[in-house]
Amino acid sequence: MQAQIEGFIIYLATERGLSTAYQLSVRQTLDKLIPWCAKNGHQQWRDIGLDELSSFLTHLRKSDLDPASLRISLVHLKVFFRFLQKRHYIEIDPAEPLLAPKTSAKLPETLNAETVTGLLNSIDREKRLGKRDLAILELFYASGLRLSEICNARLESLDLDDQFLRVTGKGNKTRLVPVGQKALTALQSYLSSERPTLVSKKTSSHIFLSVRGGPLSPDRVRQIVKERAKQAGIDQNIYPHLLRHSFATHLLENGADLRVIQELLGHADISTTQIYTHVDQKRLKAVHKNHHPRG
The pLDDT of residue 68 is: 76
Residue 146 is a catalytic residue = yes
CA distance 51 to 94: 9
Fold classified for 113-240:
hpI Integrase; Chain A (1.10.443)
For residue 291, what pLDDT band results from cuts at 50, 70 and 90? Answer: low
pLDDT at 288 > cutoff 80: no
Over residues 57-81, the pLDDT tens digits come to: 989 888 877 777 888 899 999 999 9
Residue 276 is a catalytic residue = yes
pLDDT at 289 > cutoff 70: no
CATH architecture of the domain with residue range 2-86: Orthogonal Bundle (1.10)
Q: What is the DSSP string of 84-132?
A: HHHTTS-SS-TTTT--PPP-PPPPPP---HHHHHHHHHT--TTSTTHHH
Choose, from 132, 244, 245, 250, the residue flagged as catalytic.
244
- Total-model pTM: 0.64
Residue 267 is a catalytic residue = yes
Choose, from 170, 220, 222, 283, the residue flagged as catalytic.
170
Residue 244 is a catalytic residue = yes
For residue 181, what pLDDT band results from cuts at 50, 70 and 90? Answer: very high
Check residue 16 and report its DSSP letter.
S
Choose, from 42, 146, 228, 250, the residue flagged as catalytic.
146
pLDDT at 284 > cutoff 60: no
Q: Which range (185-194, 225-234, 283-292) has the least confidence? A: 283-292
Domain boundaries, the chain: 2-86, 113-240
The pLDDT of residue 1 is: 87
Mean pLDDT to the nearest integer, 169-181: 89
